[in-house]
Structure 1
Amino acid sequence: MLERYKTVRLQASAEIVIKKSRFIGYAKPVESEEEAALFIHEIKQLHKQATHNCSAYIVGERDQFQKASDDGEPSGTAGKPILEVIKHKGLKNVAVVVTRYFGGIMLGAGGLVRAYTDGAVAGIEAADEIVNVLHREVFVDVDYTWYGKLENVLHGKGTRVGGTDFTDRVTVRCLPEAPEADAFMTWITDLTQGQAIITEGENVYYIEGE
């Protein structure tokens, strides 16, 4: 799993008008080619009367799944520019559709490239670019006598905490960044003089800065 990658937060859209043609840019985070294809299909169904629904996506840790569609526009004037926007922004696991309602004025090849580029940018900006950072769950189980100190040092260290369970003991769900997890567990062991019961959980992504 990637330690961090850029994507978009949510599905969103934005509209621009160029020489009376409406261009509606949609962007959505996706986890697979199937999810990307379904999203593109849904937008096409939503805009059945549109002149074109052009699209592109990049999926996979190594960007190994990529596809672009001109959907009837001249070859290379729509899908490729949309794909290039995704690449230029360094985004992963993103699908983008730019819907066009023709306004009666021809744009020419260069004009189409610019229009679909701008439509893709508008959709991505509406969807909010974020950075996902890989964290590892580390469950720290301590006696109540250690809880106050543990809470204070975690806060001071700036460690993300995903919740606390109070039973006969206290279990804190800590979320250090994945590359730091082993050192974090060693640090907790030293801090509690070996009295903490430490259990590793799953790797999970969280948005940087939140």
Structure 2
Amino acid sequence: MQELESRTTAYTTLPAGQDFRHELEVKRSRFITVLRRTGTEEDARGLVASLRREFHDARHHCSAFIIGPDRDVQRSSDDGEPSGTAGLPMLEALAKRETAPGVADLSDVSAVVVRYFGGVLLGAGGLVRAYSESVSSALALAPMVRRGRLRICSTAVAPGAAGRLENDLRAAGFVMGETSYGNQETVLRVALADDPASIEAAAERLRSMTAGSAMLTREGTEWVDVPVP
């Protein structure tokens, strides 16, 4: 069955390939939050498994994650805490996190809170606040990137001219895609908003940079990371 294309054209997520950690202490209990970009449920569950091994002596490894451009996969686990006091507050902290005024679009993100019990009972309300604050505090410190579905366009140039043209395109603010290197030509790729005006403006800019010698060719669309200013 063919996968349906997402209705969403952009969302906010974490940079790939690194974890973001933050620790909070509440009445001698330690709450260690780990955030990671996860594109699948398997990735999310893998994070939980790895932290169970790393913090094998902790009492709880509570988790929540949101997956997909449309945020259609949302799961949480209390991992032994009273029902509704850990996983759900963590999930709400992810789901309601504003990445711009009035915009809550965080996705492909997992949060795991490792708790070391400090000997003082927090009560249901205290647990909800602690787990929610743990995730919110970690998100406030983590860098974010925008992930957009952009049109990839390519241009083939002589290998000797490729480096300078790529630098000029980056300096002009273009988001670069994957470059293909060959003996006869180098193919540079740029990621553009998927509309005719943006593509034509980019083509005109490229012609200006190369005295009319380079042309843009449309390829498919891809999800591309764009740093948040």
- 2:121 — aligned with what? 106
Q: Percentage identity across aligned positions?
A: 32
- Secondary structure (helix, strand or coil) at the match of 2:91 reads helix
Quick one: distance in 2 between partners of 1:78 and 1:151? 48
What 5-or-longer segments of structure 1 have no aligned partner? none
State the aligned residue count.
Answer: 209
Q: Which of 25, 30, 33 is the matching residue for 2:41?
A: 33
Partner of 1:208: 227
Q: Which protein is bigger by CA-based radius of gyration? A: 1
Structure 1 length-normalised TM: 0.80
- How do 1:49-128 and structure 2 match up within 5 A? 49-89=57-97, 90=104, 91-128=106-143
Shift of 1:43: 1.2
Higher RCO (Cα < 8 Å, 6 or more apart): 1
For residues 151 and 36 of structure 1, do their structure 2 counterparts lie closer, same or farther at Cα, with a shift above 3 Å needed?
closer
Q: CA deviation at 1:159?
A: 2.1
User: Distance between the aligned counterparts of 1:43 and 1:92, measured in 2?
Assistant: 21
Unaligned ranges ≥5, structure 2 = 1-5, 98-103
Q: Cα RMSD (Å) of the superposition? A: 3.3
1:51 Cα offset (Å): 1.6
Q: How big is each residue's C-alpha offset from its partner over 1:118-158, in whole Å with a ceiling of 9 and x where there is no partner? A: 211233345423222334432212469x9899679746743
Q: Would you say the 8 A contact 1:28–1:127 is kept in 2?
A: no
Bigger drift between 57-66 and 18-27 goes to 57-66
Superposed, 1:92-171 pairs within 5 Å as 92-142=107-157, 154=169, 157-162=172-177, 163=179, 165=181, 167-169=183-185, 171=186
Structure with bigger helix share is 1
Counterpart AA for 2:13 = T
Equivalent position to 1:6, from 6, 12, 19: 12
Partner of 1:48: 56
Alignment partners' CA distance in 1, 2:183 and 2:191: 23
Counterpart residue number, 2:215: 196
The answer to which structure has the higher strand fraction is 1
Aligned match of 2:192: 177
